[in-house]
Amino acid sequence: MIIFYHLFLIVYKAGINLVSFWNKKAKLWISGRKDVFKKLQTALEFSTNKKTIWMHCASLGEFEQGRPLLQKIKEDFSDAIIAITFFSPSGFEIAKNNKDFKNIFYLPMDSRIHAKKWVNILKPSLVLWVKYEYWHFYLEEIKRKNIPLLMISGVYRSNQIFFKWHGSFYRNMLNCFTHFFLQNEDSKEQLQKIIAEQKITISGDTRCDRVINIAENFKGVPHITEFCREHEVIVAGSTWEDDETEWTHFVRQHPEIKFIIAPHEIDAENLSDVKKKFPGSVFYSEWIEERQRVTDDRQPAGEDKQSNCLIIDNIGMLSRLYYYATITYVGGGFGDDGLHNILEAAVYGKPVIFGPEYDKNFEAQEMIDCSGAISIENAIDLEKVVNNLLNNEAELLSRSDAAKKYVYRNAGATDKIISFIKENKLL
């Protein structure tokens, strides 16, 4: 099986190099890894006597998931060095500007040589792996060096390759972990078929801790209150083309409602396409410029009747935008990429709507069961659900309360993991 893994790595790298000629993300994937070992060595040059914690995240979502734990480690182990790696450009390119963590790197492509070199330079005392993404040589090297390796907010399902008859190569990767902190009971039931039960703890999802922290330390988004005014507001976050298609008719038919749409992809071409779907819409950057012009000219900011739809053309504010919503919609449930983070919306006490493809998000089903979320099949279904919520205040309030209670009920994963680290003297 290792031969096929080597082949996969070769094909993957060749594909990235080919695509990089026209794909910006692929180009960043390559350029970001240039001299990465030298950058790592330079960053750790004066940290030889300090303990180092290494957290690996596939992309931005996993970074947000691991962030509460990193913050707590910073508080409780203030002398430790924290290094964070990403595989995806969409994670690294945003997180690299984070003020709380300065040692952020691309993870070099998996290989025996890269893994040994990386671990020898970093010399981690503890490694944290967030949710998924398994790299054989890195995991093997961590195990070979006898470095504690924790899986954070893991989720396991019966259809994953670990549990297939031909999955021994991947099961060996799981055996590299010291302990697993899982999100739910179903994951434990699956994992303990191949991993000793004493190495498994159901901790819940650290994302709950993260979104609660954001909500309880809420900072307003410039001029959003002015856009929303006294209207009912629908915030649709992390949308893809299929999601936006479901909304086009409803947005056009309801100029009295304010819509805020935050596309998942914000490249110029996609933003242009989104704007065409919603006539009269305005980009957030344009709205800010207009408000600033009004302020500079000291003119009253009269309500813009033409703009009932605001399109967010940046990344980083979505988790705060849900605060302004009457109803929220989270994208990804109509495509293969899967449903995005519904907890960001639910934490503010907002009912959450999403598409039918959510089987990989157990929290989506749990929120449906507790009445905090609703799954829709198509545009007709969507309009029926939204109209019902807007015309039935009792149901709107009930579902809003259920959504918020769900998030708070599932908080506390960070404290459980920190307690384990301290009790087992891993730092």
Q: What is the pLDDT of residues 105-162, one digit of tens each?
A: 999 999 999 999 999 999 999 999 999 899 999 999 999 999 999 999 999 999 999 9
Whole-number pLDDT of residue 97: 86
- Say what the pLDDT of residue 47 is: 72
State in words which class domain 220-409 has: alpha beta
Which of 346, 349, 388, 382 has its CA nearest to residue 364? Answer: 346
Cβ 99 vs Cβ 120: under 8 Å: no
CATH class for domain 32-204+412-423?
alpha beta
Q: Are 9 and 111 in contact (CB under 8 A)?
A: yes
**CA atoms within 13 Å, Cβ hemisphere of 338:** 8
Identical fold at 32-204+412-423 and 220-409?
yes
Q: Domain coordinates of the chain in residue numbers?
A: 32-204+412-423, 220-409
CB 180 within 8 A of CB 156: no
Q: Using an 8 Å Cβ cutoff, are 152 and 417 in contact? A: yes
Q: What CA–CA distance (Å, rounded) separates 207 from 279?
A: 35
Model pLDDT, residue 299: 55
Residue 374: C-alpha distances to residues 396, 402, 403 (Å): 12, 12, 11
Return the exposure string of 341-352: e unless at least 16 CB atoms fall within 10 Å of the residue's CB, then b: bbbbbbbbbbbb
d(CA 118, CA 196): 29
Average pLDDT over residues 390-408: 97
Alpha helix (H) residue ranges in 323-378: 343-346, 362-369
pLDDT band at 300 (very low <50, low <70, confident <90, very high): low
Alpha-carbon span 424 to 370, nearest angstrom? 36
Q: pLDDT exceeding 90 applies to what percent of the chain? A: 85
Q: What percent of the chain has pLDDT over 70?
A: 97
Positive or negative torsion for Cα 44, 49, 55, 60: negative
Q: What's the rounded Cα separation, in Å, for the pair 64 and 153? A: 12
Q: Say how far apart CA 227 and CA 206 lie, in whole Å.
A: 32
User: Residue 293: pLDDT band by 50, 70, 90 thresholds?
Assistant: confident
Q: With beta carbons less than 8 A apart as the criterion, state whether 411 and 216 touch.
A: no
Tell me the CB-side half-sphere exposure of residue 344, using CA atoms within 13 A. 22
* C-beta atoms surrounding 239 within 10 Å: 25
142 CB contacts (<8 Å, ≥6 apart)?
119, 124, 127, 149, 176
- What pLDDT was estimated at residue 416? 97
Give the integer Cα–Cα distance in Å for 241 and 244. 5
Residues near 152 by beta carbon (within 8 Å), at least 6 away in sequence: 65, 66, 69, 128, 129, 130, 131, 181, 206, 417
Residue 215 has pLDDT above 80, yes or no: yes
Lowest mean pLDDT among 31-45, 223-237, 281-295: 281-295
For residue 358, give both structure tokens: 């959510």
Angstrom distances, CA of residue 393 to CA of 326, 383, 397: 11, 16, 6
Q: How far is residue 156's CA from residue 132's CA, in Å, rounded to a whole number?
A: 9
Q: Average pLDDT in the 178-191 region?
A: 96
- The tens digit of pLDDT for each residue in 241-284 reads 999 999 999 999 999 999 999 999 998 999 999 999 999 899 99
pLDDT score, position 80 = 92
Q: What gap in Å lies between CA 363 and CA 366, rounded to an integer?
A: 5
Query: Which of 48, 24, 5 lies closest to 139, judged by CA?
Result: 5
Lowest mean pLDDT among 40-49, 51-60, 242-251: 40-49
Task: Look at the alpha carbons of 417, 422, 423, 424 in this order and tell me if their dihedral is positive or negative.
Answer: positive
302 pLDDT exceeds 60?
Answer: no
